Structure 1
């Protein structure tokens, strides 16, 4: 075991305190990233590894000082090969827009508050910047994690980089989370690829989290390193699939790129609606325990949005079924009418299937589904993306018209296309007691999200009928999913 490393007690907010603190964070990250037993234990919940806190405490003093009262810790590590060089990844991580694009479903918003240093002598070695971010889990029952942190980049050797984050919040003034040394170690390997080791170490107030999700979050499955690695792989998987000459050769490269970008926008819009992130101004309509949360926001720009009031309804429910098995059942075409209460008559035939890999067992796919359903001037279709890994599964879909599909086929920019996504997010979850959810029993937490356009121009225009209608959609979806799960157990 390494000798004990002396760390500072509390990170100052003044600029001249950043350099020493971040140097220590880089040092800690590098050490815990490259050491195996006894610091790390294999994580049976969602892959990767969890930190052995007793051994960690023997080797390191906390960078952020004593943990605040009522806070708990989770720290995880995961590794994978990524088809990008270490220097390219460092550039992306230091650019807030690229960072968010790489982790669309994880990051609700992020920005660079101040660039303290761009690096040394034309290199990103020594880059230092103050940033903030909203890190989200797709459920109304889990608060968004809001961080203000220092990000530093340090080149340790040729082809070996460390990108380290350290929170500058004290965790005592209304903050529910703070980020201990976290980030990644990037090591070049042959063929322009990198081995990425991600470490996520967070202290948070567990009382703010629903009991259904506490075990999931403690294990690091939903906020931990494995989720970051999974999201990073899906990002580069999509880029590689779009430019691959062998994967779906009947689709032009420009078309695959356009389809991938439209699906990324759809994912971002739906996450913002469920997690209330991204700076959008939502007003509460209904927010009561045990009922769907209904929010509303005004859309008046007309660019990339429908004009009117968007109603968002979200609800998380425990289902007694394995999340991967349930995900497979929900994708069964004959069962779609049970849970998709809006679009099941449209989403009946696959017009375009764009798998993200040549591996047939890979569940990640972007599709355009259609039937013979028309408006006055357009055929109505459904854009859908499905993804699944060890940390959870996602089905996101939105209606599009034939004109939009034609734009995609021609490889055109679709950023002006209005989308109102609906979704199902399925993750491992535990019952908290009571009828239908025995305490501690393993199953799935399913989050249902609908976004519906109301033609009024103010939240006060919303009628009781509109609220009841979207409530009923959520209720019917929940009943349909429960029926599918119940039939599978028989």
Structure 2
């Protein structure tokens, strides 16, 4: 067909050439020029049509702009925000973000162990400076926890005069990561509580439980577990169970409130803060991001700082689980910090016995890297898990529960005449004395003088300004030391407790 069409076209070209007395080539060129001319005319007409349509759109756009200037706001009957007003709003938003950024920098620089950073040397990241929602912390307790017959808010123990709160806001992606960490850690905590063999190995001599590391790694494989590789790194894991004279509801209420948490463990917890409440009860419990500082009763041992997620969940009608797991809030693991504390899934299982008592099983699993060598007086205690182990947490909780029951009148000795408010006031004063004394023994935040070389290089001297409302204003000078004595702790305690032998110490110190 193509060849026949070509032949017919060539015959027609030759015929037109004879009629016009032209060459066939000239006729072929004339047809090509004619086609090109028609194509150019069509393109010109299309372009003119598009140009007219574009001009019509421009006119409509200008008319709409003029109409927008005359539109009134339906809410306030005023003009809509113009370019200048939008610029002013953006400047105000930038100022708010700058102030928030400075607050975050001050917060980071105020945390011990982290260097201070000048605001002018850093450029804020737009993706990390969000506007935090207003945070209200009324009671810091789980909404799902039902009221108990005893008013837990009436616990007669001292609360700090001022509570500071870190203000952080995490986006949905970060919160999803936190919830995933909580779910996995809660499952691990339940298994550590329920299982014995082969994860836990009981010491035949002391009766304490220690972990079997290979069985633990096999049972809970986690390639992303943030082990800090250093010769000075130490992993501490312990477990203990005892009966405590408080109900499960009372314990959970105290664990969720940072002030009551500090008052329950004054010999261990020196600071506690709630950073953010992640969930207030929709998961069958409470989840909150917290900070705490742990110490022992000596200025010779550095305190431990933890940023962690606390989850309190009702496991069954009579059992609650309190689980803590560290969260890398400041990306410390990647930044190479000089002091490092990390808490793996730890906490306690509380089984209410129905008689005002609870069986508490405590699990402690932490990893600590100390930049300075531990003082030789406390080296054995730290290595033997006696300072921050589960046994110490349980014993402290038992003693404070007895103190709580004494204040409530459950166990009230008859050898004194204090009743009602007089008894509560006396206990509040004693609690304030104990707490102040424990803060003095751990003055690592207030070292205003270098360490003295006397007494095993264990002297600590501090001068601070008194900020307590109940005490007179002024400066307070404090000195503390630790020393080793070839006596049992019971003999030393009886010596200081006896008013007859106590005078000998006063005579010696006055010489």
Specify if TM > 0.5: yes
- Kindly provide the CA deviation profile for residues 374-399 of structure 1, in whole angstroms up to 9, marking residues without a partner as x: xxxxxxxxxxxxxxxxxxxxxxxxxx
Structure 2: 5+ residue stretches without partners: 1-171
2:36 is aligned to none
Structure 1: 5+ residue stretches without partners: 1-11, 343-471, 477-490
The CA distance in 2 between the partners of 1:65 and 1:107, in whole Å, is 24
More strand by share: 1
2:387 is aligned to 222
- Kindly provide the CA deviation profile for residues 391-413 of structure 1, in whole angstroms up to 9, marking residues without a partner as x: xxxxxxxxxxxxxxxxxxxxxxx
Aligned length: 327
Q: Say whether residues 1:143 and 2:309 are aligned partners.
A: no
- Kindly provide the CA deviation profile for residues 307-349 of structure 1, in whole angstroms up to 9, marking residues without a partner as x: 322111111111122222332233233221232469xxxxxxx
Q: CA, structure 1 residues 222+341, in 2 after alignment: closer, same or farther (shift >3 Å)?
A: farther
1:201 is aligned to 365
Shift of 1:96: 1.0
Maintained 8 Å contact 1:47/1:226: no
1:310 is aligned to 476
Maintained 8 Å contact 1:165/1:181: yes
The CA distance in 1 between the partners of 2:277 and 2:396, in whole Å, is 26
Normalised TM-score (structure 1): 0.62
1:422 is aligned to none
1:179 is aligned to 343
The CA distance in 2 between the partners of 1:45 and 1:307, in whole Å, is 53
Out of 294, 305, 322, the position equivalent to 1:163 is 322
The CA distance in 1 between the partners of 2:432 and 2:261, in whole Å, is 15
1:211 is aligned to 376
Out of 214, 229, 234, the position equivalent to 1:68 is 229
Out of 268, 272, 287, the position equivalent to 2:435 is 268
1:325 is aligned to 491
Q: CA, structure 1 residues 341+23, in 2 after alignment: closer, same or farther (shift >3 Å)?
A: farther
Please provide the CA RMSD for this pair: 2.6
Maintained 8 Å contact 2:458/2:482: no
Out of 249, 274, 278, the position equivalent to 1:112 is 274
Secondary structure at 2:424's aligned position in 1?
Answer: helix
The answer to which of 251-260 and 68-77 deviates more is 251-260
Secondary structure at 1:215's aligned position in 2?
Answer: helix
Q: CA, structure 1 residues 285+102, in 2 after alignment: closer, same or farther (shift >3 Å)?
A: same
The CA distance in 2 between the partners of 1:210 and 1:99, in whole Å, is 28
The CA distance in 2 between the partners of 1:155 and 1:244, in whole Å, is 26
Q: CA, structure 1 residues 191+125, in 2 after alignment: closer, same or farther (shift >3 Å)?
A: same
The CA distance in 1 between the partners of 2:411 and 2:389, in whole Å, is 34
The CA distance in 2 between the partners of 1:245 and 1:330, in whole Å, is 26
The CA distance in 2 between the partners of 1:329 and 1:204, in whole Å, is 36
* Rg larger in structure: 2
2:17 is aligned to none
Normalised TM-score (structure 2): 0.59
The CA distance in 2 between the partners of 1:146 and 1:44, in whole Å, is 33
Secondary structure at 1:192's aligned position in 2?
Answer: coil
The CA distance in 1 between the partners of 2:385 and 2:287, in whole Å, is 27
The answer to which of 101-110 and 185-194 deviates more is 185-194
The CA distance in 1 between the partners of 2:322 and 2:447, in whole Å, is 37
Maintained 8 Å contact 2:377/2:483: no
Q: Say whether residues 1:95 and 2:254 are aligned partners.
A: no
Q: CA, structure 1 residues 212+282, in 2 after alignment: closer, same or farther (shift >3 Å)?
A: closer
Maintained 8 Å contact 1:72/1:203: yes
Q: CA, structure 1 residues 325+36, in 2 after alignment: closer, same or farther (shift >3 Å)?
A: farther
Q: CA, structure 1 residues 310+90, in 2 after alignment: closer, same or farther (shift >3 Å)?
A: same
The CA distance in 2 between the partners of 1:307 and 1:44, in whole Å, is 55
- Kindly provide the CA deviation profile for residues 268-320 of structure 1, in whole angstroms up to 9, marking residues without a partner as x: 1112222137xxx7351342341521110012x56222332211111111112
